[in-house]
Amino acid sequence: MRLRLAARFGAVLLALLLTFSSWAQSPASPDEALAVARRLFRQGDFQGAKAAVEKGIDRRPSPELYAVLVESFLKLDDVKSAEEYSRRALESFPQSPLALATRGDVYFRRGLILEAKSEYESALKIDEACARAWLGRGKVDAVLARRNQAKQAVSRAHELDPDDGDALYEWAIRQPYPENVSGLKRHLEQFRSDPESEGHERDYTELIKALAGRQVWVLTSDVARSEIKLETMSPGPGLGIQGYGLRVRFNDRAEAHLLLDTGASGVTITRKFAEKIGARKLSDTALEGIGKRGAARGYHAWVDKVTIAGLEFRDCFVHVAPNAVSDLDGMIGTDVFVKFLVTVDFPARKLRLEPLPAPFPADDSSADRKGYSQVFAFGHFLLLRTQAGDKVAGLFVVDSGSTLSTVLPESARRLGPMRPLNTMVTGMSGGANSAFIADDVTLEFGNVRRQNQRVITVDLHSVSKDLGTELAGQIGFNTLENMRVVIDYRDALVGFENSH
């Protein structure tokens, strides 16, 4: 019996191998290639999806084949190839709404948000039922803080194409609890991705399950305005100013001196301090940042009470890092004060909180919004189109937590003369050597022009991949320390004022 079963199994295996070999050696039809590629894409085999498309695209190209190919390259983080094939798709099918939307996806990944918006709108003018264009439009609306429009556009995309995993994910994260959990669970079960992306999604799902729909960071004190003193923070004696910070008290047990960081989210404290204040663990998480070791593993924790000067918050969750970063007690993002108009007055060493002004009309697209600049809000990250020197431009993070302003290593040659530097830049993901430094770079952003800025090169690729859009650098503390920075999180607006 065992011999007969073994022989039968061997025959079946041989037949399968012959079938696969025959399929691999003879070009599949474009329709077969598309079906295979979509299945592999859904399974997270983006290399396989790419190879399957290449079998059919030379015989009879189509917008659908190009779309799978471009999206596969984007999932593989090969933006250069995605750019090339999206260009070819539009050359071959200039009136295809799918080709236009796919080109928009590439622009979005490259950090060209307004260019992406234009492609999505062009696609919808041709076909209002283009699901991929609705999805892209929703993502653009989201980073422009048009939250209701974003939710409607993403819902329309999911309705038009329930088999699009990206649309399902974007739809799920905008649902109330517990629908968001069930939607994310379905996405994880039905659509595979790379381990890092899936890990982030599982961590987020576990957090919203742990919060169970509760309101968090509830401001209990009826405060309309507040002015809080900022205190100097230094990495050590004789090492200069690293930034300015706030004294924050937790659970009426202990106080921490936290670096005020426009590039951080919420509050991050060390594991040792979390145990000291009795913070209760909610869920594990990856903490992204500069460094070569990948995301650091930390956790989210529940804190009953957080007090900052005259402000009292209840029912808070915080990020807990395994170790201190640069000998800091921790960091506090300016987004903690999201309900206020936030002014960080660095020269005066004051944080001012005021009522938000009346919102701008939704259709107001003027470039100068009464002294404010439109930023692209990717979660807590505020990204602003910035010019560094004559030849480097892109999206920079407004990041007072970075001691120096930065650019990508590949920008060094275009930035002008830079000298080698061998110093360690520390972040959540460990240390990263900065290769070059320049002392006389001109940075232009918003309505300001800052000359003679010290800029170093730092690799931000892991952060760009996680955001889904390209970062070109950071506007750091050394550039901001003589300015007043005004932030309106509700409308994704930032104003910059030079001190006199």
In a domain, 433, yes or no: yes
Beta bridge pairs of residue 307: 249, 312
In a domain, 1, yes or no: no
In a domain, 180, yes or no: yes
Instruction: Give residue-wise pLDDT tens across range 276-302.
Output: 999 999 999 987 655 455 567 899 999
pTM of the model: 0.90
CATH of the domain at 84: 1.25.40.10
Number of domains the chain is built from: 4
Domain range for 308 = 218-340
CATH of the domain at 303: 2.40.70.10
Indicate whether 190 and 296 sit together in one domain: no
**What does the mean pLDDT of the chain come to?**
89
Contacts of 153 (CB under 8 A, 6+ apart): 134, 135, 137, 138, 141
Indicate whether 427 and 329 sit together in one domain: no
| CA-based nearest residue to 429, from 282, 323, 332 | 323
Indicate whether 227 and 208 sit together in one domain: no
In a domain, 61, yes or no: yes
In a domain, 359, yes or no: no
Indicate whether 173 and 70 sit together in one domain: no
Indicate whether 116 and 205 sit together in one domain: no
Dist CA 294 CA 429 (whole Å): 5
Indicate whether 336 and 233 sit together in one domain: yes
Instruction: Give residue-wise pLDDT tens across range 244-280.
Output: 999 999 999 999 999 999 999 999 999 999 999 999 9
The pLDDT score that the predictor gives to residue 221 is 82
Indicate whether 294 and 330 sit together in one domain: yes
Instruction: Pick the last residue of a domain from 298, 317, 340.
Output: 340
In a domain, 367, yes or no: no
The pLDDT score that the predictor gives to residue 225 is 95
Q: Which of 4-18, 257-271, 351-365, 378-392 has the lowest mean pLDDT?
A: 4-18
For 119-148, what is the mean pLDDT?
98
In a domain, 346, yes or no: no
In a domain, 166, yes or no: yes
Indicate whether 203 and 224 sit together in one domain: no
The pLDDT score that the predictor gives to residue 41 is 98
The pLDDT score that the predictor gives to residue 78 is 97
| CB count in 10 Å sphere of residue 43 | 14
Instruction: Give residue-wise pLDDT tens across range 325-359.
Output: 656 789 999 999 999 999 999 999 999 999 999 88
User: Rounded to 5 degrees, what are φ and ψ at 349?
Assistant: 55, 50
Instruction: Pick the last residue of a domain from 340, 360, 385.
Output: 340
Instruction: Give residue-wise pLDDT tens across range 410-436.
Output: 998 899 888 887 665 555 444 555 679
Helix or strand or coil: residue 450? strand
On the question of pLDDT at 219 being above 60, the answer is yes
Indicate whether 308 and 395 sit together in one domain: no
The pLDDT score that the predictor gives to residue 471 is 97
For 181-202, what is the mean pLDDT?
96
